Amino acid sequence: MTIGENLIIAPMVMADNDKFTDFLEHDANAYDLHGLEVGDQLQFINDDDLNFIHRVESDQILYHDQGRKRAKMVEKYLMGDLLGEGSYGKVKEVLDTETLCRRAVKILKKKRLRRIPNGETNVKREIQLLKRLHHRNIVKLIEVLYNEEKQKIYPFVSYLLSRIYCLAYSLYRYMIMEYCADELQSMLESAPEKKFPIWQSHLYFVQLIDGLEYLHSNSVIHKDIKPGNLLVTLDQVLKITDLGVAEALDMFSKDDTCKTSQGSPAFQPPEIANGLETFQGFKVDIWSAGVTLYNMTTGLYPFEGENVYRLFENIGKGEYTIPDTVDKMLSSLLTEMLQYQASKRITIAEIKQHDWYRKKFPRTCDIVPFPCHPELDDQLRCMTVLPYIEDLHLGMYSDDEEYEESEDKLDLQPVQHTPVEGNGTQVNSHKTNEIVEETIPNSKQKKHKTKSSARRFKFSACSQS
């Protein structure tokens, strides 16, 4: 196009209508041009119809990842999707490729733990306690892996949403634990009235007392019992987790006297709220269990405050009310568990003899199910590793920057400890001093060699047949 020629602009379709507007554009003064006839018609868009460009907010943009989910391996564990994320790290679903057991991995980073007060100490304490605690209502620790080069920890546990911790000398830790579907806190928040039906509350409370009885029999005080630290499996089994602030009493201690507490403020007893130097540890767990039962059955908290100072002031007074909708037996149990003086507070043995505890509540159709995962939109909790299994057997295995570097060979070494049974029936046969070559490529290996090793990969549980 040269100056002096008619500017023909192609017709454009409006966003609101399909009309074309004829417009004559000529500016002889600007270009010192003459000779353009008035009849020279140019098809252009009227200024009033310039509405084909719409403003779109950033939160309205949907990004669709059309790529295939790439398989990622850590030792013998195949990584799945993200299940949750807390202050200590991320929780992902994993599959044990030897036993085909569903697990959860807590990925801990030492750099993040250092930002949390007593973070590394709490992680180390929890790992030590979980190694020696084995009970149906205590989350099970399978094994712990760590990577000094990448500073990651892989704790693999059967529980899905538990907190993530690592050892002090490793930057990245992976805790493998037993899988759990969700936590009581998320289930309560998803309920319409923020509470459970009476039979469901009784089901979880009985298992909570059984777990606390086991902890106390092993001289362990949890100190942070609350719905957020209570997990539920797919078959409605309650698991106590988060032993980072727990305290193991000396085997020669005369009593359960404690001096420190780091639990959640709303679940602390009056003796801690009033700042007593020493207190009875077992009675702290009884009080916290009573507040948890109060919350599960009423949807409320016995003590509330605008801030932590107001909350502790109200707890220190010990004044609370029980709603009239609560039956007499449950009201009696709550009153005995929330006694102001720790010496008069009910014990676990007395709780198990209480009428409400021993009563059999019939199950009804009124139940609070697991809430839909915010990202996965799956209420049934289907396995998220299935797409990665397909990718693994199609030979599309590749490294991910979060777990492995494509050019550096990882040296993932499990923490030396006796392997624990995975789900009560199958024993983890993975050797602690063995590194799977197929899953951790050498820096000298080429990409096609990595793919071929993935193609040759077989689940050992399947190959046994």
Least confident of 42-46, 308-312, 420-424: 420-424
Amino acid at 48: D
Does a structural domain hold residue 336? Answer: yes
pLDDT category of residue 375 using cuts at 50, 70 and 90: low
Are 416 and 320 within one domain?
no
224 as an active site residue: the answer is yes
CATH number, domain containing residue 110? 3.30.200.20
Does a structural domain hold residue 6? Answer: yes
Domain's final residue, options 43, 63, 83:
63
Reply yes or no on whether the pLDDT at 221 is more than 90.
Answer: yes
Which residue did the predictor score with more confidence, 16 or 189? 189
Are 121 and 32 within one domain?
no
Are 212 and 306 within one domain?
yes
- What pLDDT was estimated at residue 52? 58
Does a structural domain hold residue 376? Answer: no
- What pLDDT was estimated at residue 173? 82
Half-sphere exposure of residue 138: CA atoms within 13 angstroms, side-chain side: 22
Q: For residues 370 and 22, what is the distance between their CA atoms, to the nearest angstrom?
A: 61
CATH number, domain containing residue 220? 1.10.510.10
- What pLDDT was estimated at residue 380? 83
Are 211 and 291 within one domain?
yes
Reply yes or no on whether the pLDDT at 292 is more than 50.
Answer: yes
3-state secondary structure of 462: helix
Which residue did the predictor score with more confidence, 396 or 372? 372
pLDDT category of residue 429 using cuts at 50, 70 and 90: very low
Does a structural domain hold residue 324? Answer: yes
Percent of the chain with pLDDT over 90: 49
Are 157 and 189 within one domain?
no
Are 215 and 323 within one domain?
yes
Residues 6+ apart with CB under 8 A from 345: 283, 286, 287, 336, 337, 338, 339
pLDDT tens, position by position, 175-202 = 999 999 999 999 999 999 999 999 999 9
Q: Which among 36-50, 155-169, 288-302, 423-437 has the top mean pLDDT?
A: 288-302
Are 303 and 226 within one domain?
yes
pLDDT tens, position by position, 107-128 = 988 888 888 888 888 899 999 9
Instruction: Say if residues 204 and 227 touch (Cβ distance below 8 Å).
Output: no
Does a structural domain hold residue 369? Answer: no
3-state secondary structure of 136: coil
- What pLDDT was estimated at residue 358? 96
CB atoms within 10 A of CB 461: 14
**C-alpha distances in Å from residue 6, one per residue of 24, 27, 47:** 10, 11, 20
pLDDT tens, position by position, 136-154 = 999 999 999 987 655 455 5
Amino acid at 147: N
Are 6 and 139 within one domain?
no
Assigned token pair, 4? 């002096």
pLDDT tens, position by position, 321-335 = 999 999 999 999 999
Q: How many domains does the chain have?
A: 3
Domain's final residue, options 23, 40, 63:
63
Are 55 and 168 within one domain?
no
Are 350 and 269 within one domain?
yes
Q: Which among 200-204, 374-378, 420-424 has the top mean pLDDT?
A: 200-204
Are 338 and 261 within one domain?
yes
Are 301 and 341 within one domain?
yes
- 10-15: average pLDDT: 40
Does a structural domain hold residue 371? Answer: no
Does a structural domain hold residue 343? Answer: yes
Active-site residue among 22, 48, 210, 224?
Answer: 224
Q: Which among 39-43, 286-290, 446-450 has the top mean pLDDT?
A: 286-290
Which residue did the predictor score with more confidence, 373 or 252? 252
Among 144, 162, 151, which Cα is nearest to 88's? 162
Which residue did the predictor score with more confidence, 380 or 41? 380
- What pLDDT was estimated at residue 57? 75
Percent of the chain with pLDDT over 70: 65
Domain of residue 143: give its range: 69-181+381-465
Does a structural domain hold residue 367? Answer: no
